[in-house]
Structure 1
Amino acid sequence: MRPDKRGVLELFERPQRYVIPLYQRRYVWSRQRQWEPLWADVQHRAEAVLSGERRVRPHFLGAVVWSYVRPTGREVPAYEVIDGQQRLTTFQILLAAFRDVTADIDPDIHRELERVTANDGMREHEFERFKVWPTRFDQPAFEQILDARDVTMVTASVEQARTAFQHVSALAAGYVYFAGAIRDWLMENDPVQRADALFQALRRHLQVVTIDLEEDDDPQVIFETLNARGEPLQPADLVRNFIFNDAARTNEHQQRLYDTYWVQFDEDKSFWRTPAARGRLVRDQLAWFLSAFLTVKLNEEVADSAIFHAFKRWWQARPEVNQPDSAELGLRELSRYAATYDQLNHAPATTRLGILTRRLEAMDISTLTPVLLYLLTESALDEAGLVPLWEDLESYTVRRFVSNLGTKNYNRFFLQLLQEFRRHGVNRSVLRTFLSRGAGESVRWPDDAEFHRNLVTSPVYRKLRARGVSMVLEAIDVQLLSGKQEKLHIAEALSVEHVLPRSWRKYWAAPQATPDIENPDAHRDALLHTLGNLTLVTGKLNSGLSNGPYKRKRVELARQSRLPLNRFFQDQQEWDEAVIEARSKSLAEHALIIWGAPDEAHIVQAATEAESLTNATTQLDQAQALLAQWFPKTFYFEEVVDGFQLLMRHWSRSLKYQLLVEEGDQGEYFRLGLYDLVPSSEPFKQDVGKALVKVAEQVALHFGEYQVEFTPSSIEILLPEDTSASRLVSAVMRFLLLTTAPVELALAPYIRSRRIGWALPGVVAAVQPLLPAGYFLHSRNMRDGSTYQQVGHGGWETYLRFEIRPKADEVIVAFHEELHPAHPAKARLKSIWPQLFQQAKEAFPARKVTIEEKSELSRILITVPVRTRAHTQDVAVTLVTLIHTLHPLVAPLMQPDEM
């Protein structure tokens, strides 16, 4: 082996190629995990050049291992990449983005970047012009990006594909990301100067370790050693190694420092090595602590993937970095904050800090951790001085939580709060002024009127989830007990009980009609999830109460529960809508006392009530309404907690689609999934599983810009919180088009069938492989007694379809429309029906084409003579031809107006 180090530009300056072998995986780097940390490193070095630092320390971006390939003829010299192909490919798309952004900024730099992104001169093959040649799966996208030289065009293409939920190449997405990041950075000030600084950073200060294999080195053994042996180092391991290497540099006693300061972090099964969840991310407590600690020290958000690099920046920027005891001073500071972090996580539930952390956990808010760390570690306030700050922070987060205002901008907002404390000192006036002056939905502090209104009228169980409702009710229960909730707590985990059950239609009498309530059932449904209909009980009591009548529930609540919250039921003999509304108002009054109002003197008034607030739950509700209006009747909806599920009427109920709202560390998001809960005893279980595996790749391609998760029995897509209702509808429709037909095909052989006409089975077999994307055979038409076969489209209602109807010696192929007269597409279809008929006649000049119209039914019928089994293929071809002829005219009319 011949190791060396080279700058990023130096890798590509000579005419040579880096070829990715077939056995390497395709390009998989992504924005959050790799591109953003890489750009942060590049930007940091460029800014060091820009600031005029005389000695910019080089930053290493990893290693690349390659083996020389002897050229023949006019071939450009090439190296086969053994390890580091993702890195090399990323460097090329970054340089291509830099090249294209500077086309109108600096011709000299643009010319240099042209030279490092293409080989000129003689070559054996045209593709040898590329410095990197990816695997065959990535070659078309790579070639298109490198040759386009147009950021606007590539960006538009990527955005168009994203909008349509079509496959977006990771290479194209990476190019668009880097182009945008580079352009934004260059345009901050003096683009020419900044372009030169970025160029110099890539040439001199961002380096790669290269390992050139010699003839007696075995590339496969080295590849396996680099990629398949040992566990990857975690950020905390890298931090530890860095600290003690630095201690060796300053000649400090490493063993003493380790035993004194670090050993606690390495102990197996200790608090620091305990996994903890933040939304969907699970990390050791040590990783979460380092992220929070560095956020305080650097006053910037530090993601898990950037912990090590951020730590090095903090460590090397300390004033004492050149002192003889530099490492010990750094470890002492780290330990001081670690003790505070431990205090935060183990604060007794009877203390005000313990109550705050418990409620923040219930709301899934971890972005306040750096602020709490700073206040506890750096402020001179004792507990009595900190309690008012805890109360204001809790009021701010709870009021926003109840008002569904989201947590999306909390990271940046709380970083600004840290700056305020550093600038003006830590006191309640600084905090209240800062929290109160926030304007806009992402940061404002709701006032009494808004908070009270949301507690009384909002379906809090659906919007806050069970954990959030439990937190609110527990706080009110403690307030009812003593008025001093900070000194008391509920030790046992309790369940949220609906007094009026969610399935009230099955078990309770219908509500009484009144002159002022137009729809009593809808009015009751609107109150079902409001605060007044909810209470807390033990899990055992919850299951015992279930859907029982109120008289039995009241007795059990009064007799079994000792909570002040449930004393209400001792004297309340009836339970109806008026009682629910009155109790909501009463509970809301107590909540106003617990979580006080913001400082009216500093409030920037929020938007008027006429302005609609958007959040994930409202988007979900709107999407469901759109789908209910436009969706094929082959599906039906069922509401579940946090969303709804879709079921195909002729499928097993164990096969279902779901769309849910969930909460994570960065806010809410949507989970769209198809779930196979079919028991293993069912004969079609295995075939359905195979169908899901087969379709998973297509789903990944079309939704590649989003997180797609697979298991043997599920396919799930995670969509961001800001996905609009119309986009959710598009996502659901695309998901169904990709998955419905394969599942139908897997189920079809297991649905009972018999010979219902001598031609039909043969036609069905011939049609199946010819159907265009989105079309499927209705398996319900294959059971006993069926006399025809329906062919549906995943985005249409069942009353709009194609059909095959066998007769004595012929088969009728038909386009069938039987939509309800009120359906918005009915009139549209009627207006083009003559055009559809004419198109069908022109497509089948030798066939008998007729039209049949009744009051609500219209059909175009094509007669196909079938006298022998050999003629069934003619029917299949006729059907598919008819689909291709009519689909372009019909499909646009079946799209929702809102989409």
Structure 2
Amino acid sequence: MVTANETTLQHLLEGSKQYRVPLYQRTYSWETKQLRQLWEDVVGLAEDRVTRDSTHFIGSVVLAPSPGNGPTGVPQYLVVDGQQRLTTLTLLLCAIRDHRATHEDAIHRGRMNDLYLTNPYKPEAQRLKVLPTQTDREAYQACVDSTPHAGGRDSIGTAYRFFAAKLVELDDPDDPFDIERLENAVISGLTLVSITTHPGDNAHRIFESLNNTGAALSQADLLRNYLFMRLPTRGEQVYRSLWLPLQDQLKTAKNLELLFWLDLVQDDARIKQTDTYSGQQARLDRLDGEESIEADVARLCGLGALLHTILTPATESHAGVRTRLQRLDEWGTTTVYPLLLHLLDRRRQGTATSDEIASAMLYVESFFVRRQIIGRATAGINRILLQLVTEMDRTRPVDLAVHDYLSTGRKHYADDDEVRTLIRTVPYYLNGRAKQRTSILRWLEAEHGSKEPVDLSSLTIEHVLPQTSTDEWEQAVSPDLEPGETYEQVHSALVHTLGNLTLTGYNSELSNSPFDVKRAQLDKSGLVMNQDIAQQSEWGRPQIHARADALAERIIAAWPGPLAGAKPGTNVQWNLMNTALAAMPAGSWTTAGDIAAVVGTTTQAVLARLGSVPTPHAHRVLQAGGLLSDGSREVLRAEGLEFDEHGRASLEQRLSFEDLAEASGLDLEWAEEPADRFASQLHEHGREVAEAVLEMVEFWDELGGSLGFGTGRSETSCFLFAREKDEEGGNIWPFAIYPSGRVEVVFQHLLTRAPFHQAALREELLRRLNAAPGVDLPAAKIEKRPSFPVGALLAPEARAVVRETLKWFYDQARSTVFVGAAR
């Protein structure tokens, strides 16, 4: 028997009571994703409650009366389910209390403690209204009691710091009631169902049954169910006339989910695809009545028709728009979809013409191409594209607004001079995705305007100066060497640049052939770019540079650059500094230089700001080397910061600018993509080693494998996946590459992955890799994780062996026979 009641956090916490988390519950584990979702729900609710008495349902808590309850004392309940939610909400109240006590009136500390967080005047064991598991208790009590250790590095402290930083970000100096509204929304506006079991029920069995769930519904399924729950009388008609045609047009649940996400990011670029259902539910909660819900489904159907055009560009009637859609589709990034949907919707509404949206798409295409040319293909690209819709100027013609946005700020939109300079030196073949590199070459051929149409779809990239050199090529290139240069240096500098690359359908036949052989074959090609190469009598540095220069001019003519004179934005986001500092854990420190890197300004400007404007945790900003400039050492020591005999703060407790960004959940323009970070870290071993390793990575990509990267910033590892986690048989990879200098062969991982759970295949993998010069994996470590140095890949013979081994591994891992055997 259970009793269920809808309630608020206020009713749940007011009065003398205690909610104890049983030992069989896991420790507190909410991460930034869940914290951010709760925060956004609360902020949205607070805004809604300005004009109407809104509530927001956040789930349930299942409670069981404690067996130790007696006729006197504080009533105690075991939290059977919902402890993560209940703990998080009280941590949010702690952060609100501390913020209001600091910035408004100290009276808020005692008020909120007595009402919602503690049972005043009760014995210590009964003082906290929420009592987490023993592992979390000390960190939680530090937050409730506002000790110097509040907001440490554990999960409890991280949640408290997240909310503290968000409150700093939210607090508007010109609005004295914004934080009060937020508190009221948390206390009175959040609703939940309190389910209470009867005395004698087995709380642990209830917990087990609640968590014994089956397969989860997709977000599209959940949203459909929720929509039609809101349509009790019109549901059947809306399903037949609107939902079913939409579903048939988009064909898959994945495309439906994509539509719902695209709809959300038109207004908020921060929403992740995994949060689509919760975001749409929150939006639909603000609609009243069946007519409003039906109208919204009709609106989504209109957007669905536009998404169908984006997914199938051939259905677009305007030639210019169709070409641009086809190219952006070929580029292969879904993060451009929000902009494309916005552009097509502007045309549908009559606020943009087809020519204008085609022009806007050309600027995006140009942005992609020019970044690829200068070697910045992926840096920050997703964030830039997602924010474009919400941040561009809606008062200007749409193509000009897109051009303006892409041209300003640190977006790496290469200007003409950068294209001309870097095209000679950037290793084009090693940057970005293989498909995108090939696409640009195909588009360049199309820009030649050949009178004979050639099918470019099956062509692949050919290195004219081959990747694996020969004596004949060394003799051909060496006459152009400068004093002190070696052939190996020149070969390495030229081989992967765009001037040395072309398209061909005879890649394997050409291989390492001398230039005379290649020239004869290229002269038969229907491609204008190949005929240009065939006209050369020899092929070395002068010819490669001359071709790069010619391609640069063609790129400049085909793809417009940023606005002339556009400069990166110079407005300093001091609120960004406040957010980052508010998120610092107790017992940590940083420097003004680190903060300057986060904000994008100078160290002197940060020091001046800290000295003139009240700033969260300003006392944690020390001089370089951990020296103090004021008398805050005892405060810092009370927070857990350690000092050496010379008074310097511990370097192990310092937060770099990357740590600050990570701690506060910031997505900064300078933040590198993991793939870029991996590549740049490899270059610490020298350009030759980096290019040798990246050649292997590229080969894996061309085989059809996928790449995964570690999350570490000091060292970002790379994994070569032959299967993904959700594929039959589970994920599998042969080795991991660490930029510190080793290639780790993961025999231990392969023990449980078909078909390599068979000892014979693992032994064959060992034998094949050991055939490469410089690789010597001990047979005794066939069930461990032995490694070989990345420098071994410098030798062309070793790379050839590893390439053959990777192909063999990939074929074995993708074998349906072996995958089926793993069922």
- TM-score of Structure 1 vs Structure 2, range by shorter chain: 0.5 to 0.7
- C-alpha distance in 1, partners of 2:507/2:204? 61
Q: Deviations over 1:392-426 (max 9, x none)?
A: 332233323433455537656765655656434x4
Look up the match of 1:762. Answer: none
Task: Answer whether contact 1:292 1:302 (CA < 8 A) is retained.
Answer: no
Amino acid at match of 1:184: E
**Counterpart among 376, 387, 395 of residue 366 in structure 2:** 395
Amino acid at match of 2:218: Q
Task: Answer whether contact 1:12 1:131 (CA < 8 A) is retained.
Answer: yes
Verify: 1:459 aligned to 2:427, yes or no. Answer: yes
**Cα RMSD (Å) of the superposition?**
4.7
**Secondary structure at 1:567 match in 2:** helix
Task: Answer whether contact 1:404 1:615 (CA < 8 A) is retained.
Answer: no
- C-alpha distance in 2, partners of 1:781/1:714? 16
Going from structure 1 to structure 2, the CA distance change for 1:317 and 1:16 (only over 3 Å counts) comes to closer
Verify: 1:566 aligned to 2:530, yes or no. Answer: yes
Going from structure 1 to structure 2, the CA distance change for 1:580 and 1:37 (only over 3 Å counts) comes to same
Verify: 1:423 aligned to 2:395, yes or no. Answer: yes
**1:748-787 alignment runs, 5 A limit:** none
Tell me how far 1:475 sits from its aligned partner.
0.6
- TM-score, structure 2 as length reference: 0.66
Amino acid at match of 1:235: Q
Amino acid at match of 1:177: F
Amino acid at match of 2:531: R
Tell me how far 1:481 sits from its aligned partner.
3.2
Look up the match of 1:884. Answer: none
Tell me how far 1:206 sits from its aligned partner.
0.9
Going from structure 1 to structure 2, the CA distance change for 1:506 and 1:670 (only over 3 Å counts) comes to farther
Tell me how far 1:644 sits from its aligned partner.
8.1
Look up the match of 2:242. Answer: 261
Look up the match of 2:111. Answer: 112
Hey, which of these two has a bigger chunk of strand by percent? 1
**Counterpart among 140, 155, 158 of residue 173 in structure 1:** 158
**Secondary structure at 2:22 match in 1:** coil
- C-alpha distance in 1, partners of 2:65/2:133? 18
Q: Deviations over 1:439-490 (max 9, x none)?
A: x313x64322222323333111222332221121011011123499xxx895
Look up the match of 1:447. Answer: 415
State percent identity of aligned pairs.
25
Task: Answer whether contact 1:501 1:546 (CA < 8 A) is retained.
Answer: yes
Tell me how far 1:716 sits from its aligned partner.
7.6
Amino acid at match of 1:185: L
Tell me how far 1:340 sits from its aligned partner.
0.4
In structure 1, list runs of 5 or more residues that go unmatched: 159-168, 275-283, 630-635, 646-658, 678-709, 718-727, 744-749, 751-777, 784-793, 796-899
- TM-score, structure 1 as length reference: 0.61
**1:499-514 alignment runs, 5 A limit:** 499-504=464-469, 508-509=473-474, 511-512=477-478, 514=480
Task: Answer whether contact 1:459 1:530 (CA < 8 A) is retained.
Answer: yes
**Counterpart among 302, 307, 316 of residue 276 in structure 2:** 307
Tell me how far 1:2 sits from its aligned partner.
0.7
Amino acid at match of 2:280: F
Task: Answer whether contact 2:480 2:541 (CA < 8 A) is retained.
Answer: no
Tell me how far 1:7 sits from its aligned partner.
1.9
Look up the match of 1:30. Answer: 31
Task: Answer whether contact 2:678 2:717 (CA < 8 A) is retained.
Answer: no
Task: Answer whether contact 1:478 1:489 (CA < 8 A) is retained.
Answer: no
- C-alpha distance in 1, partners of 2:429/2:720? 25
Greater mean deviation of Cα atoms: 522-531 or 80-89? 80-89
In structure 2, list runs of 5 or more residues that go unmatched: 571-601, 603-668, 699-705, 723-729, 751-758, 760-775, 782-787, 790-823
Look up the match of 1:70. Answer: 67
Amino acid at match of 1:186: D
Verify: 1:373 aligned to 2:341, yes or no. Answer: yes
Going from structure 1 to structure 2, the CA distance change for 1:663 and 1:476 (only over 3 Å counts) comes to farther
Task: Answer whether contact 2:502 2:530 (CA < 8 A) is retained.
Answer: yes
Look up the match of 2:694. Answer: 641
Going from structure 1 to structure 2, the CA distance change for 1:517 and 1:469 (only over 3 Å counts) comes to farther
Instruction: Select the structure of larger CA radius of gyration.
Output: 1
Going from structure 1 to structure 2, the CA distance change for 1:349 and 1:503 (only over 3 Å counts) comes to farther
**Secondary structure at 1:80 match in 2:** strand
Tell me how far 1:64 sits from its aligned partner.
1.3
Instruction: Tell me how many residue pairs correspond in the alignment.
Output: 635
Q: Deviations over 1:822-847 (max 9, x none)?
A: xxxxxxxxxxxxxxxxxxxxxxxxxx
**1:485-634 alignment runs, 5 A limit:** 492-504=457-469, 508-509=473-474, 511-512=477-478, 514=480, 516=482, 518-520=484-486, 521-538=488-505, 541-559=506-524, 561-600=525-564, 603-604=566-567, 620=678, 623-626=681-684
Task: Answer whether contact 2:69 2:76 (CA < 8 A) is retained.
Answer: no
- C-alpha distance in 2, partners of 1:782/1:433? 61
**Secondary structure at 2:491 match in 1:** helix
Task: Answer whether contact 1:517 1:523 (CA < 8 A) is retained.
Answer: no
Task: Answer whether contact 2:425 2:494 (CA < 8 A) is retained.
Answer: yes
Amino acid at match of 1:392: Y
- C-alpha distance in 1, partners of 2:47/2:209? 37
Amino acid at match of 1:583: R
Look up the match of 1:244. Answer: 228
**Secondary structure at 1:481 match in 2:** coil
- C-alpha distance in 1, partners of 2:6/2:343? 44
Tell me how far 1:113 sits from its aligned partner.
2.8
- C-alpha distance in 2, partners of 1:112/1:491? 72
Verify: 1:194 aligned to 2:189, yes or no. Answer: no
- C-alpha distance in 2, partners of 1:470/1:75? 74
Task: Answer whether contact 2:93 2:183 (CA < 8 A) is retained.
Answer: no
Going from structure 1 to structure 2, the CA distance change for 1:235 and 1:110 (only over 3 Å counts) comes to farther
Tell me how far 1:506 sits from its aligned partner.
8.5
Look up the match of 2:48. Answer: 48
**Secondary structure at 2:310 match in 1:** helix
- C-alpha distance in 2, partners of 1:312/1:675? 38
Greater mean deviation of Cα atoms: 404-413 or 576-585? 404-413
Verify: 1:273 aligned to 2:263, yes or no. Answer: no
Task: Answer whether contact 1:42 1:202 (CA < 8 A) is retained.
Answer: yes
Task: Answer whether contact 1:532 1:583 (CA < 8 A) is retained.
Answer: yes
- C-alpha distance in 2, partners of 1:500/1:557? 13
- C-alpha distance in 2, partners of 1:628/1:574? 30
Look up the match of 1:343. Answer: 309
- C-alpha distance in 1, partners of 2:720/2:354? 50
Going from structure 1 to structure 2, the CA distance change for 1:339 and 1:740 (only over 3 Å counts) comes to closer
Task: Answer whether contact 2:64 2:77 (CA < 8 A) is retained.
Answer: yes
Going from structure 1 to structure 2, the CA distance change for 1:452 and 1:85 (only over 3 Å counts) comes to same
**Secondary structure at 1:81 match in 2:** strand
Look up the match of 1:672. Answer: 717
Tell me how far 1:287 sits from its aligned partner.
1.4
Task: Answer whether contact 2:250 2:304 (CA < 8 A) is retained.
Answer: no
